[in-house]
Amino acid sequence: MTPGRREFLTSALAAGAVTWLAPRGAQSAEARIDVLVNEPIGTISPNVYSHFVEHLGGVVYDGIWVGENSKVPNIGGIRRALVEHVRRIKPGVIRWPGGCFADQYDWRDGIGPRDKRPRRVNFWADTNYKVTEAYKQLKDGPQKYEPNWFGTNEFMQLCRLTNAQPYIAANLRSLNVRAYLEWLEYCNAPAGLTTLSDMRAASGERDPFNVSYWGIGNESWGCGGDMLPEEYAEEFRRFTAWAPTYGTKLNFIATGPNGADVGWTRRFLAKLVEKGSGQLNKVHTLGLHYYCGTTGKGNALEYTEDEWYELIHRSDRIESLVTQHWTIMAESDPQHKVKLAVDEWGAWHLQDPSLPAGYLYGYPGTLRDALISAVNLDTFQRHADKVAMANPAQLINTIHSLFIAYEDKFVATPNFHVFEMYAAHSGAQAVRTEFVAPRVSYMRTVNNAPEQSQFWGLSGSASLNGKQLTLTAVNPDANNARDTEINIAGARVASGQARVLTSSDIHAHNSFASPNALEPKDDPVTVGAGGKLVYRFAPASVTRLQLTLV
């Protein structure tokens, strides 16, 4: 595409000129994607494909840890089906042990012989936050009373088995700097050096774990201490001053804002650099958390078509959050040394009552959640220069999970399928890509009054790996396919292949009874004369196109 045409589209979009609405029931409409392969954005960090595991509900017990003597197939106590699936999606890091749980966790409880470890009240045991009556009535079980069977060594084993890097969130609220430094020593000091590294060696782990990613607290503005940003900045400086490396580069993740709270970002960084701009070298990333919530009655499986649109639209807010915080960060960090880690993201529905009572916020996600996953991942890729890490909340059995497991039953949710489709982007070069399509419109309720709303009708991202172009796109329109002309500026498409996740039912999901109800399918791509490419994006779909360029 010529620069002139591109400028027209960009300015027309900015001016709101290209906002024609698709009439409901229309079969097709004009749409266009321009992939500007000569306009690189940045390398898509493999850590954009990271994960998050917290001792919350059924995540650790029995999502991950089933025990060595379990009838559930396992590798050293870790659920085998989970390991095999996670390997397939090329994980970046796995964040553990929380979440809010992290600021209540004493790592010393989770080492040594398993049968000697103490039992503690789990952070989430007495929560009243969106819990079922059955959960409240629960009197016992590892989901409420932490047995510490899954501790540091077991977490490292999970990381090794899945080829992920460990990211440990240190306890800032209820333990001191010394406890965190000792955890670091237990993990990273060579055997024979200290009493703690010898304890690790004696437990069968002679080689250091070389943990590079350390979170300094979690949500310190809320469950992590109700701090002011200035107070947190002081704590961050104390925790990160003179942390021994033992030969491993330490990457510190600072507690970042809750959604749109730009005040946190501004005040934290401003206070941090009062001690000098060199402090910025200690911040690998600033953690941003954004949950787009739920709609209607909060049920993961039941929603109207308008509620489908509303939640996808809300998830799209992630883009303005990334750009807004990025702009504010420049006030104290004009060279942008510090990047963003969106280390909690996803939709958050109510617990599905068909799951065991202890499975706090557990539910099988639907096609709607899959589109939300794709919206988030595409956004991180369009901002590959800003987002260095991203972790959906959470890996298994809670919130925006990739899997649901109960005893010997295990199922991949539609989110998993998006991660598998999108893994082709990991480590590739993100390139600027522009989408023009009819917008979708729907009704939502604001202050008890109906209101019409609208948003884009096709969006996505693209990345280049040698001559292989991966283009992913979301068509949120529940009824209309999008016939789309795809132009690759400065290159020609030789061949292509598509993989599509969609269903005629916008509530489609997988369950223990029907584990393969919603799976992606391959779709041939026909390249026309001269490399011309027109592709029909199915309604309510996530699509990955893999194109070989010449």
Give contact residues for ligand AHR (rule: CB under 6 A): 54, 98-100, 218-219, 344, 393-394, 399
| Active-site residue identified among 235, 310, 344, 434 | 344
Q: What is the DSSP letter of 408?
A: T
Instruction: Please give the structure tokens belonging to residue 472.
Output: 């992913």
CB of 146 to ligand AHR, least distance (A): 14
Report the alpha-carbon distance of residue 224 to residue 235 in Å, rounded.
12
Q: Which is nearer to ligand AHR, 152 or 391 (CB)?
A: 391
| Active-site residue identified among 219, 235, 310, 434 | 219
CB of 541 to ligand AHR, least distance (A): 28
Report the alpha-carbon distance of residue 160 to residue 157 in Å, rounded.
5
CB of 416 to ligand AHR, least distance (A): 18
In the beta sheet, which residues pair with residue 462? Answer: 431, 471
CB of 100 to ligand AHR, least distance (A): 4
Report the alpha-carbon distance of residue 22 to residue 479 in Å, rounded.
10
Q: Are 540 and 502 in contact (CB under 8 A)?
A: yes
User: Hunting for tokens 């396919």 — which residue is that?
Assistant: 481
The CA–CA distances, whole Å, from 103 to 170, 217, 549 equal 7, 6, 49
Among the listed residues 456, 464, 486, 124, the one whose alpha carbon sits nearest the alpha carbon of residue 309: 456
Q: Are 135 and 144 in contact (CB under 8 A)?
A: no
Report the alpha-carbon distance of residue 186 to residue 86 in Å, rounded.
27
The CA–CA distances, whole Å, from 199 to 145, 158, 168, 186, 255 equal 26, 20, 19, 8, 30
User: Hunting for tokens 């799976």 — which residue is that?
Assistant: 519
Q: Which is nearer to ligand AHR, 218 or 475 (CB)?
A: 218
Q: Are strands 521-524 and 468-475 parallel, antiparallel or unpaired?
A: unpaired
Q: Are 329 and 338 in contact (CB under 8 A)?
A: yes
Q: What is the DSSP letter of 448?
A: T
Q: Which is nearer to ligand AHR, 130 or 444 (CB)?
A: 130
Q: Are 438 and 29 in contact (CB under 8 A)?
A: yes
Q: Which is nearer to ligand AHR, 258 or 454 (CB)?
A: 258
Q: Is residue 344 among the annotated active site residues?
A: yes
CB of 393 to ligand AHR, least distance (A): 4
Q: Which is nearer to ligand AHR, 397 or 433 (CB)?
A: 397
CB of 348 to ligand AHR, least distance (A): 8
Q: Are 212 and 165 in contact (CB under 8 A)?
A: yes
CB of 275 to ligand AHR, least distance (A): 27
Report the alpha-carbon distance of residue 242 to residue 245 in Å, rounded.
9
Q: Which is nearer to ligand AHR, 122 or 394 (CB)?
A: 394
What's the distance, Cα to Cα, between the start and end of the chain in Å?
16
Give backbone dihedrals phi and psi of 353, rounded to 5 degrees, phi first. Answer: -65, -15
CB of 465 to ligand AHR, least distance (A): 32
How many other β-carbons are positioned within 10 Å of the β-carbon of residue 466? 9
Q: Which is nearer to ligand AHR, 246 or 419 (CB)?
A: 419
Q: Which is nearer to ligand AHR, 98 or 208 (CB)?
A: 98
Give backbone dihedrals phi and psi of 457, rounded to 5 degrees, phi first. Answer: -105, 0
CB of 258 to ligand AHR, least distance (A): 8
What is the SS3 assignment for 486?
strand
Nearest position to ligand AHR, beta carbon: 99
Report the alpha-carbon distance of residue 158 to residue 76 in Å, rounded.
10
Helix 262-272 crosses helix 317-332 at what angle (to 10 degrees)? 20
Q: Which is nearer to ligand AHR, 96 or 107 (CB)?
A: 96
Report the alpha-carbon distance of residue 276 to residue 237 in Å, rounded.
11
CB of 289 to ligand AHR, least distance (A): 6
Greatest pairwise CA separation for the chain in angstroms: 71
Q: Which is nearer to ligand AHR, 357 or 393 (CB)?
A: 393
Report the alpha-carbon distance of residue 81 to residue 410 in Å, rounded.
7
Report the alpha-carbon distance of residue 6 to residue 86 in Å, rounded.
39
Q: Which residues are catalytic?
A: 219, 344
